[in-house]
Amino acid sequence: MLLVLAPRPRALCLPRVEEVAQAWRSKKTSPRRGACSQAVARIFEAAADSAHQSAKKGQKRNDMLQESSQAGKVSSAKFGNFSQMERVMSLDAKLAALIQTVPECVAGGYVDIGSGMLLSVKTVDSHPQEVISLLAAATADLFAGPNVSLIEKMFKKARGMADDDHHFFQEVIVNSDNLIHVFLRGKKYPDYILTFVCRKSANLGMALTKSRLALPEIEAAV
């Protein structure tokens, strides 16, 4: 009786294993091998099955890693959205706190005149929603309207200055029948305008001073 011992396959090439097993099963194999041929064929068949199982496990592991990677991307996207929402909430909270420092302030807003977007708004008294909706557009007209931009270009040309992104108009104060409107262009973000609305009875100098002090604080919250 001939005993054939085969080592446990570790890193077998699946096509090669199947080829050898098929060769041992074929009729071309010498008949003198008899039972030995069948035993060796069974060994290689077992090795082929083991290789198949290893390939399946490897594919399953790769699928799990890919799913984990996708889950990580989704989690990262959610975290990014959460951070953006947190920043907006921080900006609203800062604006609400700054309104308390400006004398007789009834409303405040932070406007991006570059995109025409109202970044934050806080009102103490009741104001028509239509007026709040037009705040960003009105602020953009004050600081970046076509006539304002033309005047700035003319001043730059007359003074021999480069036609760059520098702006002459930094503050605008509008007195209406009942209110004082203070508009301040940002120092760190020139396209962001901070505005406060105070009652007409407020001291104009104090309202302007407090508004100027609030500007760096709101820019730090962006």
Residues 159 and 212 in one domain: yes
Residues 118 and 58 in one domain: no
Range of the domain at 205: 100-220
For residue 106, what is the enclosing H or E element? strand 105-112
Residue 62 lies in a domain: yes
Tell me the Ramachandran region of residue 160: left when phi exceeds 0, alpha when psi lies from -120 to 50, beta otherwise: left
pLDDT at residue 2, as a whole number:
47
Residues 213 and 105 in one domain: yes
Residue 195 lies in a domain: yes
Residues 40 and 122 in one domain: no
Residue 104 lies in a domain: yes
Residue 94 lies in a domain: no
Any idea what DSSP says for residue 6?
-
Does the pTM exceed 0.85?
no
Residue 79 lies in a domain: no
Q: Is 89 exposed, middle or buried (0-12, 13-18, 19+ CB in 10 A)?
A: exposed
pLDDT means over runs of 10, the chain (222 residues): 48 50 52 52 59 62 58 43 59 93 94 90 78 84 87 85 81 93 94 94 95 94 85
Residue 211 lies in a domain: yes
SS3 75: helix
Residues 46 and 114 in one domain: no
Residues 57 and 128 in one domain: no
pLDDT at residue 213, as a whole number:
96
Residues 151 and 50 in one domain: no
pLDDT at residue 94, as a whole number:
93
Residues 60 and 105 in one domain: no
How many angstroms separate the CA atoms of 105 and 99, rounded?
6
Sheet strand arrangement including 179-185? 117-123, 105-112, 192-199, 179-185, 171-175
Structure tokens at 221: 């919250």
Residues 208 and 107 in one domain: yes
Q: State the total domains in the chain.
A: 2
pLDDT at residue 130, as a whole number:
75
Q: Are 198 and 105 in contact (CB under 8 A)?
A: yes
Which amino acid is it at 81?
N
Residues 40 and 124 in one domain: no
How many angstroms separate the CA atoms of 155 and 127, rounded?
37
Specify the CATH number for the domain of residue 189.
3.30.450.30
Residues 156 and 209 in one domain: yes
pLDDT at residue 115, as a whole number:
87
SS3 120: strand
Residues 23 and 109 in one domain: no
pLDDT at residue 85, as a whole number:
58
